[in-house]
Amino acid sequence: MILALDQGTTSSRAILFDRNGTIKSVAQKEFPQIFPRPGWVEHNPHDIWSSQAGVAAEAITNAGVSARDVAAIGITNQRETTIVWDRRTGAPICNAIVWQDRRTSKICDALKKKRLDRLIAKKTGLVIDSYFSAPKLQWILENVPGARAKARRGELAFGTVDTWLIWNLTGGAKHVTDASNASRTMLMNIHTGDWDEELLTIFGAPRNMLPEICSSSEVYGQSQLFSDKIPISGIAGDQQAALFGQACATPGMAKNTYGTGCFMLMHTGTKAVPSKNKLLTTVAWKLGYKIEYALEGSIFIAGAVVQWLRDGLGIIKTSAEIEALASQAQDSGGVYLVPAFAGLGAPHWNQDARGLICGLSRGTTSAHLARAALEGIALQVVDVLGAMEADTGIRLKELRVDGGASMNNLLLQIQANLLNRPVVRPKISETTALGAAYLAGLGVGFWKDKAELSKHWQRDRVFKPEINTPARRALLEGWTAALNRTIQ
């Protein structure tokens, strides 16, 4: 079997897959979210590692097998989250700065004032935003006492979560990342596939801190976690892993993942398509020496708005309850919820925007608010797809979906209604972990090639549009008005 480690923003999971891509065992553990100040989001790197190591062992035990039955380990992870640790002791010098964190807004504003937008976009495919790793690394070096001096002496290591996990899995023997994760740091030139000296200078990042960039499917090292060593042979950032797990290996195919955030990727082949509509050009994966690319629309808040309704407002007790509550209302009653709790991502990229609820009346109920939250998620996806089709000139035939919220049938029906396109959910919704497993399996010859993997993909349910054009247009116009209020 193949063991996939899926290290997410709010929990760590481990899933065992067999040769048919069928799930044999799952283990999951949430870990604490740390909010030291408004706009700051942190994780304790020890929590990330201990929770991931714990569920890895649990998944193997639950399946009634041993480590010797595991052919390889694949890793997929929350991207952009930044960790710096001491090379000698392996101890982090501060908490991980999470991708949602906005503390580096001033650093980003200064870069924009220097008119570095075009240069950075050309080299990285990214827009200047707090979302990415480079400004987070710069903040750590400037604000953690002694960090800059230690970095210059070569005493510190930097990595995204994949790098941190492999460092610990191999007992500090391997300091590596893959091209998909490296492409999200704002330090890698996506055309050369290597760290870029000009970018390193801009962000003050010593090259000796950075991991080696590898392909997304090869043997990086041996895990020391179990009594039997297991090769680690697959890495991809969570959204790229989901694209691979959805068998979107042909240019023009796209998937959307509904997680804490919401992420749509369209495969563009071996060509990096520059975006004119504020999308990101990113590495999809690197197999052998060949880099394949994707266009990405990143939405910061998706499932997190449901968590807010649960934890912040208390109108639901569990996230799963939102579908039943929202179903009590035939529509949102004119209510719009723009979940810009951490600014707006693609295609708006406004880091100063904040959340908004508008259209309230005395007749507004918690059901209307719940439905408006689901519509807010789906409407953001509509904006991204519009930008994606404008950039590529491709009209999407169907949208493949995955992630925790993809099990919400009402959300997917709303999505199909607003997109006016079929929305397709696969039988195996754990496509992020599946993509990591596929990459790991290819790396050790467990599976032959991508063609073999594509045969495993199967549809579970197709959601087709059920509303007319005037109703759709009215919803989209109301959303645009609500967005404009958010941004002002």
Average pLDDT over residues 224-251: 91
Contact by Cβ (8 Å): 244, 439: yes
Q: Give me the residues paired with residue 6 across strands.
A: 13, 76
Confidence of residue 202 (pLDDT cuts 50, 70, 90): very high
pLDDT for 200 beyond 80: yes
Q: Give me the residues paired with residue 282 across strands.
A: 294
Higher pLDDT, 457 or 98: 98
Confidence of residue 277 (pLDDT cuts 50, 70, 90): confident
Task: Give the pLDDT confidence score for residue 456 in this predicted structure.
Answer: 81
Nearest to 84 by CA among 235, 206, 197, 178: 206
User: What percentage of the chain exceeds 90 in pLDDT?
Assistant: 72
Q: How many CB atoms lie within 10 A of CB 467?
A: 16
Average pLDDT over residues 271-276: 88
Q: Give me the residues paired with residue 7 across strands.
A: 12, 77
Average pLDDT over residues 78-87: 96
Confidence of residue 100 (pLDDT cuts 50, 70, 90): confident
The CA angle 473-475-477, to the nearest 5 degrees, is: 70
Task: Give the pLDDT confidence score for residue 278 in this predicted structure.
Answer: 84
E strand map for 55-186: 72-77, 83-86, 96-97, 156-159, 176-178
Average pLDDT over residues 285-307: 90
The two most distant CA atoms of the chain are separated, in Å, by 64
pLDDT for 18 beyond 80: yes
pLDDT for 177 beyond 90: yes
Which tens digits make up the pLDDT trace of 323-370? 999 999 999 999 999 998 878 888 888 878 889 999 999 999 999 999
Task: Give the pLDDT confidence score for residue 488 in this predicted structure.
Answer: 64
Average pLDDT over residues 3-15: 94
Task: Give the pLDDT confidence score for residue 426 in this predicted structure.
Answer: 92
Task: Give the pLDDT confidence score for residue 446 in this predicted structure.
Answer: 92
Task: Give the pLDDT confidence score for residue 304 in this predicted structure.
Answer: 86
Which tens digits make up the pLDDT trace of 431-486? 899 999 999 999 999 998 888 888 888 889 999 999 999 999 999 999 999 998 98
Nearest to 166 by CA among 60, 56, 66: 56
**Residue 416: both structure tokens together:** 């199909």
Distance CA 127, CA 359 (A): 32
Mean pLDDT for the chain?
A: 92
Average pLDDT over residues 237-260: 89
Which tens digits make up the pLDDT trace of 28-69? 999 999 999 988 999 999 999 999 999 999 999 999 899 899
